[in-house]
Structure 1
Amino acid sequence: MTTIYWFLLIGLLMLARGLAATTISRLPVTSAIVYMIVGVVLGPVVLNLFRFDPVDNSKVLETLTEIAVLISLFSAGVKMPVPFTFKRWAPSIRLAWLSMSLTVGIVAMFSYYVLNLPIGAGILLGAVLAPTDPVLATDVQVRHAGDHDTLRFTLTSEAGMNDGSAFPFVMLGLALLGAGDSDIGAWGCKWALADVLWATSAAVVIGLSGGAALGRLSWVLRNRESKHEVLDDPVGLGLIAVVYSLSELAHAWGFLAVFFTGLGLRHTELLLAGAHKNRQGLLVPDDPKADPANSEVPDPETTPLAVSAEALVFKEHLERLSELTLVLLLGGMLTLASWNWRTWGTALFLFVIARPASVMLGLIGSGLSMRLKLIISWFGVRGIGSLYYLMYAINHGLSGPLAHDLSEIVAVTVGLSILAHGISVKPVMDKFGKKP
């Protein structure tokens, strides 16, 4: 399709999404399923009006998915209950690091022994598929900054952190495939110190510092004697870009930094606004109704201005646009040939064995109920983050038949995740989402 037809298609879908918002919200499935069906029908499987090869278009797709994940991670960080306490975050940390690492190992073994892939490719595939997605998983994430539901909090904070914790394994897989240093022994030591310890800790520090600094600066400017206006939308987007860039320059994981930027910004703004701690030890505004982050349409006469809250609605609109565009492209990646036992078998293994096993092992002794563990183990939504990691790998050494092979597996896995989790999310969350 030519550019003008792409504009027409995206425009029509955006119009339909906006005009039919209420109808779509009442459907028993997520909007991502609708977008994917449109992509599949227009793509090579049915009408063949367009075809999108992720290997040939890896640079473009890497940029698009990178932007989508960054915006989603910042929005997730802003909505996290603050302050950070180890007791509350312990299950999420286990999921984002221990369970994620176990998933990489389990998928790597499956890839090596069943799919006959090299061990490096197996680790890379595990790293690509292990992180849960912050973009497509919005229906199982916290809905606003005052949402303290345990299930949604755990799933959201896991998705926010494991998009950074998976990166070391992507680098490890590329190195084992020969795309990195040929001296694997020396590289392994460097990997543990630089890619795991330094890149992770530096990302957290840079993210929290950046969020706190902007929170204090905007507060000072707005409370000057002479009125000073702050444009929250460009300030929020600028903060994402600056923190991400500084993290990359410092060889830290930018995704992780952006998530903690939202967290630091929200925490700082609540402290400066004179918030108090509730019985759970969480910071809440003195008047919950005066918190713009708890309402889709805040009252400008009664709500305090805050960058985190004022820019949140705009970023959620960008998330919806990113979701629509990228899921539509996903439909163009799927072909009849891509549906084979290797692709759907990997997806089935991930959903039914790898994810549940890693969650159950990672949450031993966490104190969460078995019901919560089972729901968390099922809602390991795979999506835009997986596509980004795959495109990153292709643009940093992964090539040839192996790149096409992994692309087929990832595309089908993401597609089946959209279908399976999109069908089950509303009934499950309606029944269990509001329970502690």
Structure 2
Amino acid sequence: MSEPTTFTLACIVAGALLIAMTLGGSFIARLPLSAAMLYLGVGVAISPVGLGLLKLDALKNTVLLERLTEVAVLISLFTAGMKLEFRVRDGRWRIPVQLATVSMVVTVGAITALGVYVMKLPVGAALLLGAILAPTDPVLASDVQVANPGDRDRLRFGLTGEGGLNDGTAFPFVMLGLGLLGLHELGDGGWRWWAVDVLWSVAGGLALGWLLGTLVGRAILYLRMRHREALGSDEFIALGLIGLTYGLALLCHTYGFLAVFAAGLALRRIDEPTARPLPQPLPNPDETLSPAEQEASGAQAPAHMMRAVQRFNSQLESFVEVAIVLAVGVLVATTRFRTEVLWFIPALFLVIRPVAVVVGLLGTPVKGSQRRLMAWFGIRGIGSLYYLLYAINHDIQPALAQRLLSITLAVVVASVIAHGISVTPLMKRYEARKSGRQRRP
């Protein structure tokens, strides 16, 4: 099939699917399945095992797929950052931080042990597998994330923050795995890994993202509120800040994922009451401005900008989710799955994730149903695919690449199905119980 025909068919399928989701979105939301499950099914249907309309090979189209997943994760991380409140003394932040560090280490360690002692992988390859599968996904987990900026629910806050942070905290383990395979410089005794890949890249990425998000957000608000300038094009704020932050983070050899998440977090904070006072709007707004422009440059300018950017980001996130999950469905047809996934997936979902969450939540106020749901909703998805493709493009051996692809893709597909089926009934039950407790005298 020629490239123009393939592209044309892709446009038709994607367009029809987007319209169908618009027409039936409210009905689908009531069903015990997620939108990602439908995208996955359509992807399989148009793959070589179905209608044969599209074909992708993860080992041949690695550069294209890496860039697509990279963009998807960046958009989702920025969106996750903008959903969360950040206050220095907010104890809720202990939950995602411990999940993204302690639980991350436990998960990587457990998968590495299984890889070495059960799968007979080299230590570097097993560690790389652990790093690929450890982070939870910010793209596919929207149904269990913070719904609005004022949502103070610990479950949603913890899962949103974990998804935003651990896509960056997994990177040091990816680099360590590549280093043990001889594909990355670790330094004598691992000094370079500790100094550059861990300390500098993590701290530098967070600091750079926070600085850029704060400066850009305040500059735009200053121009709008003091000079009635920089009005409109709120969509460019998101795209521009993501691109600027990610590019500068890579240029400075820091983790761009963490930087983009921090930029979204910092941009969101300028709308918080406890943030540094913003410039006061000028009196007597220009009568030539439209009502929307007057709102965008008046006292409600911070809230107006946040709503516009968040709305655009949510739409963009939904669009890239369609593209990536469709690609996953097509990839299923060209991937040879090994039988080891039959026991590995239950071990990851039912043993490793719950144990990692229990250990990671020690000392936090998360108990009961919140802890159980956090243990279950360790959703794997686009982030894991990105790290896999990143490793493949760093010239890991073809046999290892094929094996890691088999495991990773199987885990992602299983997560889309298992978590997609369970998310609606479990979250409805959780919200009903929470509402019942709040109504009690």
CA deviation profile, 1:205-264 (whole Å, cap 9, x unmatched) = 111111111121011101124555142111221011111111111111110111111111
CA deviation profile, 1:303-359 (whole Å, cap 9, x unmatched) = 535433311111111111111111111111114973442123222211011111111
Partner of 1:153: 157
Q: CA deviation at 1:427?
A: 0.9
CA deviation profile, 1:128-155 (whole Å, cap 9, x unmatched) = 0000000000001001212111100000
Match of 1:304 among 275, 298, 301: 301
Partner of 1:282: none
Look up the SS of the partner of 1:269 in the other structure: coil
Contact 1:236-1:307 at 8 Å conserved across structures: no
Partner of 2:351: 353
Q: CA deviation at 1:41?
A: 2.2
Partner of 2:28: 24
Q: CA deviation at 1:188?
A: 1.4
Partner of 1:193: 195
1:78 aligns with 2:82: yes
Q: CA deviation at 1:42?
A: 2.2
Match of 2:331 among 326, 330, 333: 333
CA deviation profile, 1:43-95 (whole Å, cap 9, x unmatched) = 24444433321111110011111111111111111110232436221121110
Partner of 1:104: 108
Partner of 1:342: 340
Map 1:371-386 onto structure 2 (within 5 A). Answer: 371-386=369-384
CA deviation profile, 1:259-287 (whole Å, cap 9, x unmatched) = 11111111123359889xxxxxxxxxxxx
Partner of 2:292: none
The percentage of aligned residue pairs carrying the same residue is 42
CA deviation profile, 1:161-191 (whole Å, cap 9, x unmatched) = 000000000001111112123xx56161110
Give unmatched runs, 5+ long, in structure 2.
278-294
Closer/same/farther in 2, CA of residues 3 and 216 from structure 1, 3 Å limit: same
TM-score, length-scaled by structure 2: 0.88
Closer/same/farther in 2, CA of residues 84 and 382 from structure 1, 3 Å limit: farther
TM-score, length-scaled by structure 1: 0.89
Contact 1:36-1:328 at 8 Å conserved across structures: yes
Contact 1:344-1:412 at 8 Å conserved across structures: no
Match of 2:262 among 260, 263, 276: 260
Structure 1 Cα separation of the partners of residues 208 and 431 of structure 2: 33
Partner of 2:388: 390
| Bigger CA radius of gyration | 2
Structure 2 Cα separation of the partners of residues 186 and 421 of structure 1: 43
Give unmatched runs, 5+ long, in structure 1.
276-298
Contact 2:34-2:420 at 8 Å conserved across structures: yes
Residue type of the alignment partner of 1:415: V
Match of 1:52 among 56, 61, 76: 56
CA RMSD of aligned residues (A): 2.2
Residue type of the alignment partner of 2:313: K
Structure 1 Cα separation of the partners of residues 236 and 189 of structure 2: 40
1:218 aligns with 2:220: yes
Residue type of the alignment partner of 1:270: E
Partner of 1:296: none
Structure 2 Cα separation of the partners of residues 108 and 226 of structure 1: 56
Q: CA deviation at 1:400?
A: 0.8
Partner of 1:243: 245
Contact 1:387-1:410 at 8 Å conserved across structures: yes
Match of 1:67 among 46, 67, 71: 71
Closer/same/farther in 2, CA of residues 106 and 304 from structure 1, 3 Å limit: same
